[in-house]
Amino acid sequence: MTQPENQSRESDSPSADSPIAKPNLRQRIVAMAAAVIVLIIVGTPLAGFLWLRSAVVRETEWNALWHTQTMIIRHLARTRGEWPRSWDDLEPDFQPTNHSHRTDSTQTLHDCVNVDFDLDLQEVDLSETEDPPKFISLKSGRLETETIKVNRELQESLKKSLRR
């Protein structure tokens, strides 16, 4: 091989120090940075929307759970300790709330909350327990701690109703 042929072959493949290799690396870095920026621009509002949607659902479920508990307690007081047999039994005890500029409806309660309408109060153990009977629960299964609190309060209300 002659000297000029050898030089032309070396110039065909860029080395790490050659000026041709550096712009290629810069292009990759710029492309990756642009991809990260686009991901942040698109991902942040999407994550915020999903979080907000989840928060609204949790608030709706929490309100439905406590509202149902209040209706049952009113029903127990009105009927002198008789457990409701259906949502129709609870209808007279419904009082709409208007917090957060919205009105709850019984349909929201039906959609979110399960009530054990088949409960036989004579067979329920109302003694102090760590795990109270499951009088009501959320259909989604979320907010387990709140559900336990609500059931404990119902347990206490039932004890008071049955003592009378």
Most confident of 5-9, 19-23, 32-36, 159-163: 32-36
Q: How far apart (Å, rounded) are the C-alpha atoms in residues 50 and 46?
A: 6
Domain count, the chain: 1
Q: Please, where are the H alpha helices in the chain?
A: 3-12, 21-78, 87-90, 106-112, 144-163
144 found inside a domain: yes
Six-digit token string for 100: 């957060």
64 found inside a domain: yes
Q: How far apart (Å, rounded) are the C-alpha atoms in residues 52 and 59?
A: 11
102 found inside a domain: yes
Please give the distance of CA 158 from its chain centroid, rounded to a whole number: 30
pLDDT tens profile 150-162:
888 888 877 776 6
101 found inside a domain: yes
81 found inside a domain: yes
37 found inside a domain: no
Domain housing 137: 59-163
52 found inside a domain: no
Q: What pTM was estimated for this model as a whole?
A: 0.63
Six-digit token string for 92: 């007279």
Query: Which of 65, 55, 89 lies closest to 137 in space, CA to CA?
Result: 65
Query: Which of 103, 94, 98, 97 lies closest to 75 in space, CA to CA?
Result: 94
- CA torsion through residues 50, 51, 57, 60, sign: negative
70 found inside a domain: yes
pLDDT tens profile 50-81:
888 777 777 888 888 888 888 888 888 888 88
Six-digit token string for 24: 């290629």
